[in-house]
Amino acid sequence: MSWVIIGLAATTMLAMALVLSFVLGWANRAFHVEVDPRVDASIDVLPGANCGGCGYVGCGEYAEAIVLDDAPVNLCTVGGKSCTEALAAVMGVEAAVSYPWRPVVHCGARTGDRLGRSPYIGEQRCGPANLVTDVQGCTYGCLGFGDCTRACDFDAIHIDDGLARVDYSTCVGCGACAKVCPRNIITMAPFKSDRMLVVQCSNHDAGKDVKAVCKVGCMGCRACERTSGMFTVQNNLSTIDYDSYTHENLESGLLAAKKCPRNRLVFVGIPSEKDILVAAKEELPDLIKPDFKTTVDDTEWRG
Ligand code: SF4
Ligand code: SF4
């Protein structure tokens, strides 16, 4: 190859590079879209979990909604209070009082509490099991196959003795468990304190029908409603009005919990120091010592 051809090719490449860089520079100026710097500032503040708990597809979309559509700054359940305050500072608005929203499993029946169970041999998931009537007598209760456990990215909900239980020390309130539960028995509640009084039942059947299928379900007897204004019994089931959940009203709420014949008004949340102390004092069973026995008798074998 002669030096003339090499020179020609190099000159052509250089000319093309110059023309293309000019075109790109022009296009950049002509089609430039101004991005509000508060969007990037909001993205920097958000935790980047992209869990969807705020109701938007991810943190980026939520940041845009805050800046462009005036979305509230207190929707990020993962970031919590500090994130709300930082977003409020970015937007120059007041941070409204917000509580962390956490899931409540409205069923308290362990395996032994459920009556009328029939064998289920289908796929071991709540979705398919929910389609089969009579998996267990109560058609409202937790199915215990752990669809919520699999949906949780934070390892914060587990099945214990057939019942979904939230680990509130790791739960971030993304709501994925509530969305996936085919029985809709997980709701998101405002946690006004570390531990909250909740109604641990979802059964709307009449009292005698509840008793026929569950040892612990709410019978709709209205003892709670008569004792505290925090409770209303609707359609045979007690519900808590979280607006009236105040420190002052909690006293009557605790009285109602004592009066409930089924003990279905219980506290859930981060264990209190007292609970931890009580658990620490509990006597643990003695360690089981291995005691292996051979199945071969020890008669001496003589050939
Ligand atoms: S238990 Fe898991 S899935 Fe449910 S709200 Fe908490 S973090 Fe989200
Ligand atoms: S007192 Fe207990 S059983 Fe009676 S309605 Fe209230 S929660 Fe249900």
- Prediction pTM value: 0.74
Based on the domain organization, do 66 and 190 belong to the same domain? no
- Domain-ending residue, one of 56, 91, 126: 91
Q: Which residues line ligand 1 (CB under 6 A)?
A: 103, 151-152, 154, 156-157, 166, 171-177
Total number of domains in the chain:
2
What's 157's DSSP letter?
E
Q: What is the DSSP track for 260-277?
A: -TT--EEEEESPPHHHHH
Q: Closest by alpha carbon to 101, among 83, 125, 127, 75?
A: 75
The separation between the first and the last C-alpha atoms of the chain, rounded to the nearest angstrom, is 94
Closest ligand 2 atom to 222 CA: 5
Phi, psi of 210 (to 5 degrees): -65, -45
Based on the domain organization, do 110 and 254 belong to the same domain? yes
Query: Which protein residue's CA is at the shortest distance from atom 6 of ligand 2?
Result: 224
Based on the domain organization, do 196 and 266 belong to the same domain? yes
CA of 51 to the centre of ligand 1 (A): 10
Based on the domain organization, do 46 and 107 belong to the same domain? no
Q: What is the CATH number of the domain that holds 211?
A: 3.30.70.20
Q: Give the ligand whose atoms come closest to the C-alpha of residue 149.
A: 1
10, part of any domain? no
Neighbouring residues of 160: CB distance < 8 A, sequence distance ≥ 6: 110
pLDDT of the chain, 303 residues: tens digit per residue: 678 888 888 888 988 988 898 888 888 877 877 789 999 999 999 999 888 888 898 999 999 999 999 999 988 888 888 899 999 999 999 887 778 889 999 999 999 999 987 788 889 999 999 988 678 889 999 999 999 999 999 999 999 999 999 999 999 999 999 999 999 999 999 999 989 999 999 999 999 999 999 999 999 999 999 999 999 999 999 999 999 999 899 999 999 999 999 999 999 998 767 666 766 665 554 544 444 444 554 444 443
For ligand 2, pick from 208, 211, 215, 221 the residue to mutate: most ligand atoms within 8 Å of CB.
Answer: 221
Q: What is the CATH number of the domain that holds 83?
A: 1.10.15.40
CA of 144 to the centre of ligand 2 (A): 23
- Domain that residue 85 falls in: 37-91
Based on the domain organization, do 196 and 168 belong to the same domain? yes
Q: Give the ligand whose atoms come closest to the C-alpha of residue 236.
A: 2
Q: Closest by alpha carbon to 100, among 188, 191, 171?
A: 191
H helices, E strands: number in the chain:
11, 8
For ligand 1, pick from 102, 168, 174, 187 the residue to mutate: most ligand atoms within 8 Å of CB.
Answer: 174
Q: Residue 292 is encoded by which pair of tokens?
A: 């292996």
